[in-house]
Amino acid sequence: MNIADFLPRVAAVYGDKPAISLGMRQLHTYQEFADRARSLAGALRGELGLNEGDRVGIAMTNTPQYMEILVACWHAGLCAVPMNAKLHPKEFAFIIENAGAKVCFVTENLTKGISDFLETIDGFERVFCVSDDDYEALTTHSPIEMVDVSETDPAWIFYTSGTTGRPKGATLTHRTLLAMTLRYYADVDQPSPTDSYFHTAPMSHADGLYAIPHLIKGSHHIVPESGGFDVEEIFGLLETYKNATFMAAPTMLTRMTNHPKASEARSENIKTIYYGGAPMYLEDTKRAIATFGPCIMQIFGQGESPNTGTSLSKDLHADYDNPKYEQRLSSVGLPRTGVEVRIFDENDNEVPTGEVGEIVLRSDVVMAGYWNNPEATSSTIRDGWLHTGDVGLLDEDGFLTLKDRSKDMIISGGTNIYPREIEEVLLMDSRLDEVSVIGRPEPDWGEEVVAFVVLREGASVTPEELEELCLNNIARFKRPKEYFFVDQLPKSNYGKILKTELRKQLAEM
């Protein structure tokens, strides 16, 4: 069972319908899209010599070529490895090497930095820039028939940073993606060829994953010319396209709501805005509903259970007369269809209703495991339960409320940032004795990264030097926005740094 099995059917039935547009300009019908994907699949297996199960890196900003590369990989029996386009070249290189990818597709802005680092990786063969003639030639290669794969074969390796400081590859099989898709139809929407899907968020994450249900149903995919999220551009697209669905991290949705032109937006052309990835404040949610109407829904999940844990439906967002309305609006909703959600204590025992503990999930949509990392897999999936690392409670009606995130994780603009990864980079400077990184509230992004630094005796260092160190090793968005030089860090009796105390100190500042 291949997740790309929809391609010939959609091409046959909706071949003349628009598939991909860049802004207002239509690029491909579904027949043309299918032809390009099949030919690209032929090039991957023929000209590039990839074999069934090989991994293909995708380091791209949002582009019209993104979806055809994904589908071509699956058509050819290969596994896609999409990566956050904001990563540092060293981080791209780690993922490519860890996944064992032989080929990587990139957008022009990432070509040089990635190429320089990938030259040193054993087994890596070639970088293709999707705006070059060489890439376009691949889409005219002789097509191949779809490869019949097992439902347990990897289809997408979703790399997510971990508390170990190194990204871990959540292995999503063809069965995982199908399970995610069916739950989309059950709990989110029933897309159709009359729908539009705006790619406003990174296609390497939830935006690209939820594009699959829309591809299968023949919806029209629109990539904004900006390649991402721009409020006025979205409002402009809504002038033309109807039945629009798109993802907005809470900060994005709030920016839309607070925009001066929000009241003029063609909100009647919005079918669904789904948000998630970070906390959404109650008042911001209420203002969004008042501005855009009952088209908003919330999803809670993670890469290890792609976009699928709980959801707060559009109906529940609009259930204004319910006496528990605000309580439910402050939650992340009910368990998705076929997803078991429990709250466990530190001994993996289920806690009573209303008590706080770790959120765990069990479902067909949970990943197969972390790529080539059995230790991390066994730590995260225990007795069939995915341990999310998030803390929350289930109320008497089954609604899940988040009480905290993974203890130290920072969420900035809907993107997870793990402090230890930054701390390890900073501690490469031998003049630093100790470092602790935490999140500071920031009105536009939710949180921003700050660092507390203890210098070794007699040493001196400037914030500019630490900034350069970070920029040379990690993505720009992860670097601390401010450094606090202190004599010592607060610690427990066991010598553990107390980040809760640092947060208190920061609040007092």
Structure confidence at residue 184 (pLDDT): 98
Structure confidence at residue 161 (pLDDT): 63
Locate all alpha helices (DSSP H) within 51-203, ordered by sequence: 65-75, 89-99, 111-118, 133-138, 174-187
Structure confidence at residue 163 (pLDDT): 44
In a domain, 488, yes or no: yes
Average pLDDT score over the chain: 92
Chain segment 91-134, per-residue pLDDT in tens: 999 999 999 999 999 999 888 888 888 878 888 999 999 999 99
Residues 347 and 424 in one domain: no
Mean per-residue pLDDT, 30-44:
98
Residues 348 and 417 in one domain: no
Residues 345 and 419 in one domain: no
In a domain, 296, yes or no: no
Residues 440 and 494 in one domain: yes
CATH code, domain with 356: 2.30.38.10
Residues 424 and 499 in one domain: yes
CA 493 vs CA 283, 490, 496, 497, 498: distances in Å: 40, 10, 7, 10, 10
Domain that holds residue 390: 338-404
In a domain, 456, yes or no: yes
Coarse DSSP helix, strand, coil percentages of the chain, rounded to the nearest 5 percent: 35, 25, 40
Domains of the chain: total = 2
Question: pLDDT category, 406, cuts 50, 70, 90?
Answer: low
- Give the domain-ending residue among 346, 373, 404: 404
In a domain, 19, yes or no: no
In a domain, 455, yes or no: yes
Structure confidence at residue 116 (pLDDT): 82
Structure confidence at residue 494 (pLDDT): 46
Structure confidence at residue 496 (pLDDT): 66
Residues 394 and 454 in one domain: no
Mean per-residue pLDDT, 458-463:
93
Q: Of 54 and 250, which is predicted with more confidence?
A: 54
Structure confidence at residue 390 (pLDDT): 86
Mean per-residue pLDDT, 366-374:
97
Residues 428 and 468 in one domain: yes
- Give the domain-ending residue among 404, 434, 454: 404
Mean per-residue pLDDT, 251-276:
92
CATH code, domain with 420: 3.30.300.30
Locate all alpha helices (DSSP H) within 46-110, ordered by sequence: 65-75, 89-99
Residues 393 and 428 in one domain: no
In a domain, 182, yes or no: no
Any idea which residue has 């088209």 for tokens?
Answer: 295
pTM of the model: 0.85
Residues 420 and 501 in one domain: yes
In a domain, 285, yes or no: no
Mean per-residue pLDDT, 252-278:
92
**Residue-wise burial string across 104-123, b where 16 or more C-beta atoms lie within 10 A, e elsewhere:** bbbbeebbebbeebbeebee
- Residue 152 phi/psi, 5-degree rounding, is -95, 0
Residues 395 and 429 in one domain: no
- Give the domain-ending residue among 355, 381, 404: 404
Residue 443 confidence (pLDDT) above 80: yes
Residues 451 and 364 in one domain: no
DSSP class per residue in 286-314: HHHHHHH-S-EEEEEEETTEEEEEEEE-H
183, 339 Cβ separation under 8 angstroms:
yes
Chain segment 294-349, per-residue pLDDT in tens: 999 999 999 999 999 999 999 999 999 999 999 999 999 999 999 999 999 989 99
Structure confidence at residue 291 (pLDDT): 96
Structure confidence at residue 165 (pLDDT): 62
Residues 474 and 399 in one domain: no
Q: Name 49's Cβ contacts closer than 8 Å, sequence gap at least 6.
A: none
Distance, CA of 423 to CA of 425 (rounded, Å)? 5
Distance, CA of 479 to CA of 485 (rounded, Å)? 16
CA angle 360, 364, 365 (to 5 degrees): 70
In a domain, 396, yes or no: yes
